[in-house]
Amino acid sequence: MALTASGISVYAGGSFASTGTFPHSGIAGFIPPELVSVPLPAPAPIELAFTRLSPNPTAGRTRIEYAIPVAGHVRLGVYDVQGRLLSRPIDEIRSAGHHVVAWEPGSRSSGLYFLRLEYGGRRVTRNLVLIR
């Protein structure tokens, strides 16, 4: 009997009653099935959170990423330093998990702005700096 390996496949020469469940004589080869990688879904968040603001500071459009643990009504407000609501990019029911929304400042002037995310009676606030 002769045995050789090529990568992860194995070949053998000789006399065999069967290879696996098939009768065979001469050369037998074991070629493992192709491995498939399946990405695992991101775990559900356990609390309300901003996960990323980019870019920050910004000169224009900002990508706002956030997460909620279960489906529910979500509100996102953009406020100036005097506490005035300037825009409300989100005011609707969203599914559990990670979400992304974009905010476009339009003609707003340079300065500090506050993003307030509200969900399930909780509030989370992050600063956003706009540079023109």
- pLDDT digit string (tens) for 84-113? 999 999 999 999 999 999 999 999 999 999
Peptide bond preceding 57: is omega within 30 degrees of 0, i.e. cis?
A: yes
Tokens found for residue 87: 């825009």
Phi-psi group of 121: left, alpha or beta (phi > 0 → left; psi -120 to 50 → alpha; rest → beta)? left
DSSP 8-state class, residue 2:
E
**For the domain bounded by 49-130, which CATH number is listed?**
2.60.40.1930
Sequence ranges of the domains in the chain: 1-34, 49-130
Where residue 29 falls among pLDDT bands split at 50, 70, 90? low
Q: Greater confidence, 22 or 100?
A: 100
Q: What is the pLDDT of residues 45-91, one digit of tens each?
A: 788 999 999 999 999 999 999 999 999 999 999 999 999 999 999 99
Q: Greater confidence, 132 or 39?
A: 132
What is d(CA 81, CA 34) in angstroms, rounded to the nearest whole number? 58
Residue 37: what pLDDT? Answer: 72
pLDDT at 15 over 80: no
Residue 45: what pLDDT? Answer: 74
State the DSSP string of 35-74. P---PPPPPPPSS-EEEEEESSSBSS-EEEEEEESSSEEE
